[in-house]
Structure 1
Amino acid sequence: MNMALSLSSAVGKQVQPLVGNFQGSFSMEQFFRRKEKVVIVMGATGTGKSRLAIDLATRFPAEIVNSDKIQAYEGLDVVTNKVTDEERRGVSHHLLGSIDPNSNFSSHDFTYHASVAIESILARDRLPIVAGGSNSYIEALVDDWAESRFRYEFCFLWVDVSMPILQKFVSDRVDRMVDGGFVSEVREFFDPEGDYSRGIKRAIGVPELHDYLRAESDDADERTLTILLELAISKIKDNTCQLALRQLQKIRRLRNKRNWNLQRLDATGVFLTDGGNPNDAWDTFVLQPSLRIVDQFLSDDRRLITTPIVSPEAAPLVAAVSR
């Protein structure tokens, strides 16, 4: 039975266990049917992945599947920098703020739920756009799930920004997030025992604020609280910059070692528009090239599987058909 096709497209707030062998059963249809097309938007934090995914979804009949492991959890909307309802512009999002914040949402869980969402989107004759910064999730969906290459053809869009420029941007963004209620959100997840190893509590910003929130609960003086808050914000900035660097390194590894055909879009110019219009720069450097790439991808009918990756169990049957 094809598990992904048989399940409801609704994803509950509680992560459901994976049942049986997720690889699914072998069928000859997998080898000869046309592959469905999926767009994947990648990039380090702060590069504009969500913006590009939404821009594309307003120009093609599409829905978005979130692939950010922290944004998948319910809560901490400011801390995790989730797109707002206004920013979504009416585009349907899946796996965004829908997972129990106390659960551990693994890459295997993501593959399962993302495949269900993708199949539900395709069933409505719409384009699935997978977007987010958790490249381990994307790698699991594309390469670690055996059926993926049988079912889907992928178009990879990589939004890239010069790292020194990006790190200054994400540091400034932390200041804006603090002004927007960052600390108040984290306060609700403060753990006196300091256990931030599970679920949404792993989000950058939650463990970093522990000492400040503990001192606050102990009625520390204002000077102490000010110092601890400044230290926490500095650590949040450092850890966010380190995250961006790790994400970039992972993307390069996927390109070089996994041989993914990543379409690189250099968005550095968008962040350097001193006195200019950043929207014009975005349109020039990112959106228009992306529209051309996706349009060509969707109009390309060469979707028949020619070199399938065959499991050991299926190999004898494939060999028999090939004779």
Structure 2
Amino acid sequence: MMMCKQAQAPVIQIITGGMDLSMLRHRPQKEKVVVVMGATGTGKSRLSIDLATRFQGEIINSDKIQVYEGLDIVTNKITEEECDGVPHHLLGIVDPESDFTAGNFVNSASMAMESIVGRGKLPIIAGGSNSFIEALVDDENYDFRSRYDVCFLWVDVAMVVLHQFVADRIDRMVAAGMVEEVRNMYKPNADYSKGIRRAIGVPEFDSYFRAEYSSSSDEKTRTKLLEAAINETKINTCILAHRQLEKIYRLRSVKGWKIHRLNATKVFQVKGREADEAWGELVTGPASMIVNDFLYSFGQSRGFAGKADGRGRGIREAEMGAAMATATY
């Protein structure tokens, strides 16, 4: 695949602090990476695919559970149809019995990024495991920051709205066969502290499956245990969402990450066509303008095919101002 040629910066003749700024044009420029963050269920995968189709991108999964093979319903892996032809990396590739650490992610994600930029594409890292993202971006050797410029996008939804969505989603997962999926890999006395068995929706069903194996339990008892397992899965997923949100706040306030917040609450309060329109207006539209400005503003490291406005030029300043008014830091 032919890569776009690097744009040449104009020669600047101003002398500042004894340094000729025209020398800056000879400095090696960094590659660009987009990171999509947010609590579980907020639409990170959807936004990452929207951006990938607009900016010739490929997606690197940063969810510490979705990296494992299996339990597609429980881990809510994106389907092939939902991928819309966008290549995904580190999704369902790790043995479910093994442990995949933050260090493993840093090494694997780094190789994936090199491969993606080497083919002239934009790496888009998406997932809810902020500890993985932090380990990659703020590594001890400063390797990531020295090689990449990064744009952080945060899809946010009011918690009271997200809680209801999460509960409804788990009900849909149960209807789609989640319990059967977990039952197929159930092992008595399994270690729930490693591998894919750490996933929310696996240890919660242990008591229920034990009752199924027991000849002394009756149907009424099993029904109550099943209801309790489903309810506990909902509660633990909401707790996870709160922890994810707290980590994002910490990365902004303590580490000073410049994270663009996109408020998607309205999307979850309406349905059908109205929800799709709200998503475009409040999430995809502003995010596309922010990424367009990130990629094509002065000092760009390279050109990527496929501008956000589809006209072969950057977003107008007025449009960018509207996007910044919608997205907050």
TM-score (norm 1): 0.83
Query: CA–CA distance in 2 between the matches of 1:47 and 1:196?
Result: 26
Given the alignment, which residue of 206, 213, 216 partners 1:210?
Answer: 206
Given the alignment, which residue of 83, 92, 95 partners 2:78?
Answer: 83
1:276 deviates by: 6.0
1:274 deviates by: 5.5
Query: CA–CA distance in 2 between the matches of 1:301 and 1:101?
Result: 45
Aligned to 1:201: 197
- The answer on whether the counterparts of 1:111 and 1:137 sit within 8 Å (CA) in structure 2 is yes
Aligned to 1:176: 172
Aligned to 1:291: 288
Query: CA–CA distance in 1 between the matches of 2:134 and 2:27?
Result: 24
Match for 2:138: what amino acid? D
Return 5+ residue gaps in structure 1 as ranges: 1-30, 305-323
Bigger shift: 271-280 or 172-181? 271-280
1:44 deviates by: 0.1
Q: Residue deviations 1:88-146, cap 9 Å, x none? A: 00000000001111111111110000000000000000000000000000000101252
**1:62 equivalenced with 2:57 (yes/no):** yes
CA RMSD in angstroms comes to 1.4
| SS of corresponding position for 1:277 | helix
Aligned to 2:125: 130
Of all paired residues, the percent bearing the same amino acid is 58
1:189 deviates by: 2.3
Aligned to 2:30: 35
| SS of corresponding position for 1:74 | coil
- The answer on whether the counterparts of 1:194 and 1:207 sit within 8 Å (CA) in structure 2 is no
Aligned to 2:153: 157
1:253 deviates by: 0.3
Aligned to 2:3: none
Return 5+ residue gaps in structure 2 as ranges: 1-25, 302-329
1:13-52 to structure 2, matched below 5 A, reads 32-52=27-47
Q: How many residues align?
A: 274
Query: CA–CA distance in 2 between the matches of 1:181 and 1:97?
Result: 18
1:234 deviates by: 0.6
1:32 deviates by: 3.9
Bigger shift: 265-274 or 133-142? 265-274
- The answer on whether the counterparts of 1:153 and 1:303 sit within 8 Å (CA) in structure 2 is no
Query: CA–CA distance in 2 between the matches of 1:85 and 1:283?
Result: 22
